[in-house]
Structure formats: C-alpha cells, structure tokens
Amino acid sequence: MADAVGWKRNLRKQLRQRNRVECEYFKELINNHNKIFEGVDSMRTQNVALQIQVERLKQENLDLNLKSETSSSGNGGGGKASNEKIQSLEQKLFKLQEELTEMHRRKGENAQQLIDVSHELQEKEKLLTSKDTKLTETLFQLDSLRNEMKHLEDSIIEKETAYQLLRDEHQALQLACTSAEEKLRVAKEENTELITRWMELKGKQAEFLNFDNEEYHKKQRAKLKQDLKEAAETHVDIKQPKIRPQRSGSQSMQICYQAIIPTHAHYKFDAHDGEVNAVRFTLSGRICATGGADRKIKLWEYGNGQLILKGSLMGSNAGVMCVDFDSQEHHVLGASNDFASRVWSIADHRLRHTLTGHSGKVLAAKFFGDASKVVSGSHDRTLKVWDLRSKACIRTIFAGSSCNDLVTSEAAGSTIISGHFDKKVRFFDTRSDTCGNEITLQGRVTSLDLSPDRTMLLSSTREDSLKVIDLRMNQVISTCCADGFHVGNDYSRAVFSPDGQYTLAGSQDGSVFIWNTATGKLETRLMKEHHSSVVAVAWQPSGAMVISCDRTKKAILWSDI
C-alpha cells in the first residue's frame, strides 16, 4: 500500500509541477496580453473611423469656402443705401411686431377677466336662490312647532287632573291599610296565646302516657318472674341424639344410622355429553343433580332402582364445576367455568339468579345460612359471599390462591373452609374480616367435605391421599391412601358416608375406593366399570347407595343389592 501511495504521490506532485510550470506562470501574462491586444484592436478601428470623419469634414469645409466665394463675388457694389433702408425698415418691422404681440397679450388678459366675473355672478345667484328656499322651509317648520306646542299644553292639563284624582284614591287606600294592619296584630296576639295553651295540654297528655307504660311494664315483669319461677320448678330430661340433624326444615329427612358398603354396579347410565364434573344428592335423597361439561345441570329422581331424568337446567355458558342444594330443596346452585354461579328453582326448572363478579372460573359454590346466601370460590383467588335477596355480592375474601373447593359449617360458627391450589386449607369466619386459621397439606387440595357431626373435615390432595382433619384440634387424624389410587384432577371430589364411618373417592384409573375413616384402612375397591378417570362421587343420604361419575359421560349407581 505504501508502494501504491508512493507512485500516486509522485504522480500528483508531477502533475502539480506541470500545471504550475505550464499554466500558472503564464496565465496572467497571457490574460494581460489578450486584453492589450483587444484594446489595440478597438483603438485601431476607432482611429480609422475618426480619420474618415476628419476627411469628410475637410471636404465640407472646402465646399463651403467655395460657395461663399461665389456668392460674395455675385452681389458686388449694388446698394449700400438700400442696405441701410432695409435695416431701418427691418427695425420698424420688428418694433411693430413687438407692439402687436403686446396687444394680443392684453386682449387675452381682458377676455380672461370677463369670464371670471361672469362666473362669480352666476355663483352668487345660485347662493341667493338656495337661501330663499331655506327661509320658506324654516317658516313652515315654525308653524308646525307652534301647533305641536299647543297640543302638548293641552295634554299636560289633562294629566294634572288625572294625577289629582289618583292621589285622592291613594290616600283612601292607605287609611284602609293601616286599619287592616291593626287587625292583623290583634289576630297574632290571639294566636300566640292559643299556642301556649295547646302546648300545656300536650305536656299533660304525655305524662299520662308515660304513667300508663310504666304500669304495663311492671305488670309484664311480674308475669315473667312468675313464669320463670314455674319453669325452674319443672324437670326436663334431654336425650342425646346419636347423630345431630344436619340442617333444619327438611320435610322428609332421611337419617342414616348405618352406611352400607356397596359391592357392585347397580345401574349405569350416560349422564352428560362429555365430562361429568359434579354430582350431589338432596338431603332427602330423592333427587340427585349432576353437572357436566355440556353446560347443563340435570336433575334425576330415584325410583325402581333407576335414576329418571326430571329435567335439564340450561343457562350456563360453560361447563358446570359444582352443584349444591339448599336445605329446603327448593333451589339448586351451579358454579360454572363462565365466571358465574347460578341458582335455579327445582319446582319449575327456571333460572332464578345469576351471580356474576368473579374474574376467573368458579370452581365451587355452596348455600349457607338459611339458604339466602351463597359462597363461591374461584380460580381468580377470591371467595365471594352473595346475598340472594339483594342479588349482590356482599363480601369478597382475598384468599391468595385459586380455590378448588369449599364447605360451610354453621356448627363451627358460620365458618367457610376452603381448599386451595397452594396446598392450604383456610378457615374464614363470615362475621369477622380476618383469616382465622390455615392448615398446610402435602399436595394441592382438590376437594373438601364435612363429616355429618361437623367435627371432621375430609380433604383430598393431589399427592394421592385423603386426609381426615379433626376440626377441634386442627390436626390430621388419619390418612386414606391405597395402591392404584391416584387423584386425577384438581377438582376430583371425595366425600364422607352419611354416618361418617367411611370415606369415598374416585381414582384416575376408573376405580372407586372406600376407606374406614377412623383407621384409614381400605374397605373396598370397586373396579372395572368406569373406563376413565372418576371425577365426582356422592353417597346417598340413606347410606344405601353410592353414585360416581367419570370423564366420559358415564355415571354409575353402586349398591349391595
């Protein structure tokens, strides 16, 4: 590269040198030369032109000289006298001419003056006529003004008479007014006197009433005392029932004393088009509801060893995840993946309420209280409490994790217990705002169920076991697990038997497991009927039958008959 630069630099240097030597040295010189050259050229042409002019002028001069000579020789000595005469005549002529011009000038001036004067005269005449017209106009105006003045004077006189009349009237009215005011004052005085009297009477009446009330109270208290005394005297013998009634008010509550472990499939049927996510019996055991991924809730009635379809409840826009009955068996509640919970009436299958407000799938919903409230748990990590009378969300509980299932317990003081994705079971008191308690399990909690006596909580977890928790100690008292038992979904349900002796759950391989609650021992395993993962199970309140549902439409009724 250095080489290349070498030759290039050499070349450039030579070129510059060339241009300097050949061009720059001579540039100015030649420019100047050219200028001078042109100058000389133009001078030369000018010079030629001038010479030609000079020649011509010379020629002219010559001609003139010639002419003058010839003329002077022609006129000779003829008339010096006549010359003088001519001169005087010329002078006269000149004078006369001057006079003439002077005359002309004057004449012109006079004519001009004449014209000016006549002009002035005309103007004055014009002025005069205009003044005359003005004068007549003003006279006319004066007349009309005088007339008007007369008119006005007349009207003034009229007005004055009217004014006088009005003043008289006014005075009369003022007199009337003062007398009326006097009357008013008297009336007011009377009024105040009457009011004071009335108040007095009122006070007296109140006193009488108070006295009356006191009398009545006294009498009542005396009667109450009497009653209490009588009551204390009578002896009452209270029997402890074996199982406390779960909810009040059911017409034909079936109380189960002994749950029977089913042995074989008794009745199989297709419950839904697709997955069957939830199943539940009413307290009376007459009606069973299933919820499916086909967006319907179906009501079934038990009779002749079969479940007969009573009706389909439409309205959900996505699969139903959970169903629940109220204690009166008037309403059925469904939680849906379309972020809403809905309430239908059982009697006429009509949609009654739609509870919207969650921002995620609603995975669980339960009635509680006197069935006028609903609590729902959602994938949006909140629980919401709804009042059905006002159809509004009355409380939102921020649980902190997606809620898979929840139960409510009036016995434990209106507690809501929820099972969560973060492996925790949380306890909320509906009457206070704080989160009361929580228990951490080993796996994601998929379902919760309360034992009939409300002392035990059954939770199924994704680590393939069921935990029985004693609610009084908040401790796991037994664990139910078995070979081949796998919890298939985050929403697989497990339940207690109606007498609380057994726990029931379905497995991923299609079998249904029943354990002993107290010992955690496997009682039976019902196999080979379901061909896919069992999602939901329910024990009939009479204790005689079990229903299980799977992910491929099937529902199976198990019994020992």
- Contact positions vs another protein (CB under 8 A): 3-4, 6-8, 10-12, 14-19, 21-23, 25-27, 29-30, 33-34, 37
What is the arrangement of strands in the sheet containing 494-496, beginning at the earlier edge strand? Answer: 494-496, 502-506, 512-516, 522-526
User: CB 10 → another protein: shortest distance, Å?
Assistant: 5
The first and second tokens of residue 240, run together, are 């402890």
User: CB 45 → another protein: shortest distance, Å?
Assistant: 11
The first and second tokens of residue 256, run together, are 């189960």
Half-sphere exposure of 365 (CA within 13 A, CB side): 33
Residue number with CB closer to another protein (23 or 309): 23
User: CB 55 → another protein: shortest distance, Å?
Assistant: 21
Structure letter (DSSP) for residue 183? H
- Our CA dihedral for 157, 158, 160, 164, rounded to 10 degrees, sits at 140
What is the rounded CA–CA span in Å between residue 46 and residue 221?
156
Residue number with CB closer to another protein (41 or 154): 41
Other C-beta atoms closer than 10 Å to the C-beta of 532 total 15
Query: Which amino acid is located at 192 in the chain?
Result: T
Instruction: Tell me, letter by letter, the H, E, C secondary structure of 260-319.
Output: CCCCEEEEEEECCCCCEEEEEECCCCCEEEEEECCCCEEEEEEECCEEEEEEEECCCCCC
User: CB 37 → another protein: shortest distance, Å?
Assistant: 7
Residue number with CB closer to another protein (32 or 252): 32
User: CB 58 → another protein: shortest distance, Å?
Assistant: 25
Residue number with CB closer to another protein (3 or 348): 3
What is the rounded CA–CA span in Å between residue 500 and residue 452?
6
User: CB 56 → another protein: shortest distance, Å?
Assistant: 24
Residue number with CB closer to another protein (9 or 170): 9
What is the arrangement of strands in the sheet containing 554-559, beginning at the earlier edge strand? Answer: 264-270, 554-559, 546-550, 534-539
Residue number with CB closer to another protein (26 or 94): 26
Burial tier of 424 (Cβ tally within 10 Å: 0-12, 13-18, 19+):
middle
Helices (H), 234-249: none
What is the rounded CA–CA span in Å between residue 190 and residue 293?
84
Residue number with CB closer to another protein (22 or 227): 22
Residue number with CB closer to another protein (38 or 98): 38
b/e map 291-309, b = 16+ CB within 10 Å: bbbbbbbbbbebeeeebee
Q: How far is CA 224 from CA 72, 229, 231, in A?
A: 184, 8, 10
Residue number with CB closer to another protein (11 or 114): 11
Residue number with CB closer to another protein (25 or 198): 25
User: CB 7 → another protein: shortest distance, Å?
Assistant: 4
Q: How far is CA 494 from CA 343, 432, 502, in A?
A: 24, 29, 11
User: CB 26 → another protein: shortest distance, Å?
Assistant: 4
Query: Which amino acid is located at 383 in the chain?
Result: L
User: CB 49 → another protein: shortest distance, Å?
Assistant: 16
User: CB 36 → another protein: shortest distance, Å?
Assistant: 10
Q: How far is CA 425 from the centre of its chain?
A: 37
User: CB 51 → another protein: shortest distance, Å?
Assistant: 17
Residue number with CB closer to another protein (46 or 101): 46
What is the rounded CA–CA span in Å between residue 495 and residue 487?
13
What SS3 state is found at 126?
helix
Residue number with CB closer to another protein (17 or 220): 17
User: CB 3 → another protein: shortest distance, Å?
Assistant: 7
Residue 384 pairs with which residues in a beta bridge? 376, 396
